Structures are given as structure tokens and as C-alpha cells.
Structure 1
Amino acid sequence: MPDGSQIKASFANSISDIGREAWDACAGHSNPFIGFDFLQALEESGCASADTGWQPFHARIDLDGMDRPLAVMPLYMKSHSYGEYVFDHAWAQAYERAGGQYYPKLQSSVPFVPATGPRLLSRADDMGRISLLEAAQGLTDQLGLSSLHLTFLPEDEAQLAGANGYLIRNDQQFHWRNRDFRDFEDFLEALSSRKRKQIRKERRTVADSGIQIELLTGGDIQEHHWDHFYRCYIDTGARKWGQPYLNREFFSLIGERMADRILLVHCSLDGRPVASALNFIGGNTLYGRHWGCVEDHACLHFEACYYQAIEFAINRGLTFVEAGAQGPHKLARGYEPVKTYSAHYLRDPGFHRAVAQYLAEEREAVAGDIAYYGEHSPFRKD
């Protein structure tokens, strides 16, 4: 880098203001969610906007003499804490009871996606990443906001944030790991006898029901598939949390721009669609995102969301399947507990100290849960 070059931080109210080439030069192509196409689809469809409480405020670091950014970070001004999956509602309530104003806050994440991925997108490793941390913290101070949150970070970025004064929070998810399995039967043989029999019984239940399962990707995914998927998504969303976050336009946009990175599990019975599951294909990971059904069929959720994902990952030579938030029930299906990370900057020193104490206790509890679930792994102990 040129000697004496000056670093400049700026913020964009639209990812389009940064541009695909500049953004993806920093983001790379391993994780589908932090790429330009996915984030722009959220903005263009109106899912991530000021109206939904996700005002884009993306950070950009430039260096004199360079024709593209040194680093970028997805960043949003939030007026609530929904769609994040790292829950800080209790923090907001406590801060406001003490007379503070918690919202708006800054959030670095992928809206509505509880999947680990880089947030400090840099072409210069720690130089760019530290500059992003400092720029976002500086913006929080400048605007007088209560806090800044970076959620679902990879461990190395969390460690870097911790070394720069951010508070670190842990939680857990359940991920499947490919142990060089030759096929699905090879995976089953690695499980305890009881778990192996359970999975075979569940898969047989679906097969005997007559349900047809298609794995669609690329040009095989048509608009009528998205129509059916969206009906399933709306039904599940309405039953679980009231108002689904994503609209129909969003799915058309990603289908148009990211089809080769999408795996859609399409389930039908006697020619009528009954269920669907949406996955995204990363460099070494398959990410399960959404599932829904318009008819209830025994064990179909396990088959469409977990077993088809595992089989696809084995066939593609992928290392991991991430099936989203929650779910100790995934343990019985071959998924194992892993630690997740987030980093938090709280501007008020007293608030910072109180949350730091809480997080120390929470990290200990999470470690205990992971150890407990690890002891109950579905894999054979021999």
C-alpha cells in the first residue's frame, strides 16, 4: 500500500451505492448471504428498508490511491430488535427503565438470517477489519446511539472485536458435519443403533406415503415453484411469529440472480404441491433457511429439511449443513452443537459493565449446554 495513504470511512444508504464489483471484491463468494445479490434483493424488494426498521447504513473503508474499497460491512439502523435471532429485548427494556433510549441502534448482520458468516469484509485482513470496527463505533458515538451489534460472526472476527473493546456473546446452534461419508448409508452407520433405526423409520414413513421429492437448483427452479414455496413460507410464518419478514418479490429476485446457489426441495403428492424447503449453497456449507407445508404429513419436515440436506451435502462434497436457529431435536438427526458468536459495543459505561457481567454468566451457561449435548451425541462411541 502507498506510504502515507489516508484511510477514509463513509456510509451508504443503499448497497447499490457501493456496487456489485466493489462489494464482492471484499465479500468474496464463499458465503451466499453476504454477497451483493442477496443483500440487494433484500433492499430492492423492500424487506430491508427504513419502513421495516432495517435502514441500510453500510460501512465502507477507502484508501487513497485505490479505485475500490479496502473493506465494507453490512450495517443497518434498527428501530427494533426483530429479525436478528440474537435477542436483546431484555437489554432494551432494562436500559429504557433506567431512563435511556435504546432505539435506534446499529446492527451489522444479514437481515432475517441466523447463519454465521463474515461481517468485516476486507481485502486487507486486519487492517481493513479494524478500520470497520472503529468506523462503526465512531458512527455510534457521533449519532449518540445506545449500541452497535455484530451478530453471527465467525470466531476470528469475534476475537478481533473482543480485542478492540467489544463485548462477546455466545449462543449455540446445531450443525451437521461431513466426516468423509461416502453416502447417506455410510452416515447412518456412524450413528448409534437406536438413532439409525429412528431415521430409517422416519424416511420409510415418507417414502411409503407416496410423496414425491424433487431437488431443484439453477434453471430448474421456475416461478410456479416459488409460488408454492411462498404459500408454504407464509403459512409457517403466520403460525410461528405472525408477520413473515420476506415478501414474494424477494424470492423472485434471488431466483433470477442466485439460482445456482439455491437448493429448493419441492414435495408433492398425487401431483399437488404439499411442502417446500429452501437452502442456499455456500463454498463448503449448505444453509437451510425456510420450510413450510400446506398439508401435514408425518416425518416430512425431517425428510425435507434435514435428511435431504445431508444427502445433498454428501453428494456435493460439502463439509457442513447449517439448519438455522434453535432445535435440540436436530441432535437425534445427526446435527451437533456448535458455539455461535456476536460482538456488542454499548456506549454507556454503566450499561456496558452490567451487560458484561451478564454475558460472562451467559457464556458459562452456553458452554455447559454445549458440553451436555456433546455428551449425548447421536454418533457411536466406539
Structure 2
Amino acid sequence: MPDDAPELSLTLHRSVAEVPATDWDACAGGGNPFVSHAFLAALEESGSVGGRSGWLPQHAALRDPKGRLLACAPMYAKSHSQGEYVFDHGWADAFERAGGRYYPKLQVAAPFSPVPGPRLLVHPASGLRAEALGQGLAQACQQLDLSSVHVTFCQEHEWAALGRAGWLQRIGMQFHWSNPGYASFDDFLGALASRKRKQIKRERRDAEASGFVLKTLRGHEITPKHWQAFHRFYQATTDKKWGRSAYLSRRFWPLLGEALGDRVVLMVAEQDGEPVAGALNLLGEEALYGRNWGTLVDAPFLHFELCYYRAIDFAIAHRLPRVEAGAQGEHKIQRGYVPVPTYSAHWIAHPGLRRAVADFLARERPAMLAEIEALATLSPFRREGESG
């Protein structure tokens, strides 16, 4: 246990159901649905994690001597590096070529969700620092004789705290849309350079002219029919993009809808009354999080309309500060989504592997920051003094 709090106890749990939902969510807060008890339970109940998935729940719970939950973390023992979006395959290959055993490892994450947010979930009244939970996770890794612990897509302050505790720090990149207080989509367009504004107008017009009925659905408006169709969309995307079986099971979607209610936002295109494409989002306190997309049709700009523009519409209507559109995609820049850093922290037991990864990250971090700065210059927004 952490040296500064020897009276605390850390336990690992093979199901989030072993921790009362009210206790877990009191630590997680309500801002980010991907670390909520309901989201994690839907993953487990649907069989998307556990079993032979390679994601074995090992959720961490830090309690005081009276058994009160002070902090927790969504954690998994991993037998591979799939579904994480922070790639350490090279580290694993190098270590195993040198005779080491990289797997299993511990992963603190929202599975299959490259969504930044809290990972070290500390109860606000506990007085604990994030470093205390991080130290407990590192000690648990040592006691289990595992290679490493990885905290991915964490918040910057958690990244900084773990860095102070000696963890290795990594920076990645995503593209987010920011809302300074637009009154309408046209208000947002007015902030863009003329050529970019015309491009987006044309893309939206062409998407609407394709003959689809476009809808934004929430909670109870999403029917079993929609979920059945969405799983087909999801499978089509994974087959096309990665050529492998889907991570998330068919049962996951209706369980998610039941558990999170109106926090689930589905942008859908229908043709002759049948859903043919969709983009799934989850609603947080300060952001709309774009998560999964899929389609059974090939229509111009339908992807941009459902994934990006309708998300912006929703954020403006609900006065949300951000839309986070997920991993990858420099094409998002021209649609108003600008590059921002993402953060992860890594504790590695083997001194040799740790030195090698530390050397790699020391070179990667400034390169990533330089790339973010360079891509930001491609922003479609008007520069100061530039005419519309």
C-alpha cells in the first residue's frame, strides 16, 4: 500500500458489481460516462469483457480501515494490446524477443473507448492524492508478478501526478471541437474562412439530398430495432477497417441504452423506414463523446453529417463546451475539430525495458507536440484580421 497511508487497503475485483454502484460513482463523479458503474457493468454483462476477451476485470478499490471506498480505478488484466488505442505492441515485441514476458499486464482504461477522462477515481472528500492510488497499483503489479501497469487516456493532472511518482509519461493526439458559445450552426460557420464555410455547407446539403431521413435519438427513442441495426453497422466497420471480429457484443448496445438512458445519443439515417447508418455518442457534463460509427450504404458526406455536423448541432443546442470525436482522422480539422494532446502513464517493472521505453518517450513527446502545433495551423477558422 502507499507509504503515506499504510492503514489503507487495496483490493482487486473481478467484476464491478462487487463494488456498490453508489460508492463507485461517488468516486467517479458524473462528468464522464465511460468510467461510470453503469457503463462498465454493461461491458461485463454483455460479455464484451471477461471470459476469453483478453480483458479480465481487476477493478481496484482503495478503502479506509472502516471499509469506506476512498478511490477506485477501472482496471483489467490484459493478455494482448488490442482495443486500447495507445499502442505498445513494439514494447511487447522487443521485451519478448529479449526473453521477457510482457503479458499479462494491467490496463487502467475504459475498454474499447479512446475517450479522455478520469482514470484514478478519488472521492472528493477523501483528501487522497492521485499518486497514492497510483502507487497502490504499481505495488499490486509487483505482487502479481506482472510486467506493467498502463493508465491510458487519463486527465492531464493525473498524468502529471503519476509522472511525479516516477511513472513514464506519454502524449498522444485527438481532434476536438470547442464551443465558445455559438448560438447556432450558422454562427459556428461564421467563424470559418469563406472557402471552408462553403465546403461544409455543400457537404451538409449533399448529405441531406441523398434521400435519407436523418434523426437524432436519445434514450427511450432508441428502439430494439435501432440497436439491432447498429450492431450490423458496427460489424461492417470492424470488418472493413480491421478485418477481425468485433470487440463489443450484440447484447452490449441495448444494455448500454437501458443503463445510461438519455446520456445515449444516436444519430441515425433511415431509408424506407429502415436504419442504414448511425453514429453513437455518449453525453457527459461538458462534452458529447463520439464513439462508434457504421453504415450499410455508400452515400456522399453521410459520415461527416452524422458523426461531426450533427454532433456540433447537438452541442450548440445543449450548450456543451466540446465535442470529442474519437481517435485519428486529420480530415476532422477542416470540419472545425482541432488537435489537442491526450495523456497516458506507464509503470514498467523490468529496469531494462523501463529504460528503453523512457528513452523512446523522451524522443516521442516533443515530436508529438510539434505535430500538434503544425496541424493546428491547418485550422479552418479565420485568422485575426482576415475577412470572411
| Map of 1:43 onto structure 2 | 44
SS at match of 1:296: coil
Tell me the CA shift for residue 177 of structure 1. 0.4
Q: Could you list the per-position Cα deviations for residues 213-237 of structure 1 after superposition, in whole angstroms to 9, with x for gaps in the alignment? A: 1110021111111111111111111
1:1-382 alignment runs, 5 A limit:
6-65=7-66, 68-124=68-124, 127-241=128-242, 242-382=244-384
Q: Which amino acid aligns with 2:202?
A: K
Tell me the CA shift for residue 248 of structure 1. 1.0
Q: Which amino acid aligns with 1:228?
A: A
Q: Which amino acid aligns with 2:377?
A: E
Tell me the CA shift for residue 126 of structure 1. 6.3
Tell me the CA shift for residue 293 of structure 1. 0.7
1: CA distance, partners of 2:108 / 2:8: 21
Moved over 3 A (4+): none
Gaps of 5+ in 2: none
Tell me the CA shift for residue 270 of structure 1. 3.1
Q: Could you list the per-position Cα deviations for residues 98-153 of structure 1 after superposition, in whole angstroms to 9, with x for gaps in the alignment? A: 11010000000010000001011011466252221111100111121111100001
Is the Cα–Cα contact under 8 Å of residues 50 and 56 in structure 1 kept in the other structure?
Answer: no
Is the Cα–Cα contact under 8 Å of residues 130 and 162 in structure 2 kept in the other structure?
Answer: no
Tell me the CA shift for residue 64 of structure 1. 1.7
Is the Cα–Cα contact under 8 Å of residues 5 and 63 in structure 1 kept in the other structure?
Answer: no
Q: Which amino acid aligns with 1:240?
A: K
SS at match of 2:382: coil
Q: Which amino acid aligns with 2:8?
A: I
SS at match of 1:206: helix
Report which stretch shifted further, 305-314 or 206-215: 206-215
Distance change >3 Å, CA 225–CA 72, structure 1 → 2: same
Is the Cα–Cα contact under 8 Å of residues 233 and 277 in structure 2 kept in the other structure?
Answer: yes
2: CA distance, partners of 1:342 / 1:203: 36
SS at match of 2:52: helix
2: CA distance, partners of 1:171 / 1:60: 28
Report which stretch shifted further, 329-338 or 239-248: 239-248
2: CA distance, partners of 1:63 / 1:189: 54
Q: Which amino acid aligns with 1:57?
A: Q
1: CA distance, partners of 2:362 / 2:31: 32
Is the Cα–Cα contact under 8 Å of residues 221 and 259 in structure 1 kept in the other structure?
Answer: no
Tell me the CA shift for residue 179 of structure 1. 1.5
2: CA distance, partners of 1:134 / 1:364: 27
Tell me the CA shift for residue 178 of structure 1. 0.3
Q: Which amino acid aligns with 1:157?
A: E
Q: Which amino acid aligns with 1:380?
A: R
Report which stretch shifted further, 127-136 or 276-285: 127-136
Tell me the CA shift for residue 377 of structure 1. 1.1
Q: Which amino acid aligns with 1:101?
A: R
2: CA distance, partners of 1:136 / 1:370: 31
SS at match of 1:169: strand
2: CA distance, partners of 1:175 / 1:115: 11
- TM-score using structure 2 length: 0.95
- TM-score using structure 1 length: 0.97
Q: Could you list the per-position Cα deviations for residues 185-206 of structure 1 after superposition, in whole angstroms to 9, with x for gaps in the alignment? A: 0000101111111100000101
Report which stretch shifted further, 352-361 or 78-87: 352-361
Distance change >3 Å, CA 126–CA 99, structure 1 → 2: farther
SS at match of 1:369: helix
Tell me the CA shift for residue 303 of structure 1. 0.2
2: CA distance, partners of 1:208 / 1:58: 48
2: CA distance, partners of 1:327 / 1:18: 37
SS at match of 2:183: coil
SS at match of 1:290: strand
Q: Percent identity among equivalent residues?
A: 49
Is the Cα–Cα contact under 8 Å of residues 116 and 153 in structure 1 kept in the other structure?
Answer: yes
Tell me the CA shift for residue 34 of structure 1. 0.2
Report which stretch shifted further, 200-209 or 302-311: 200-209
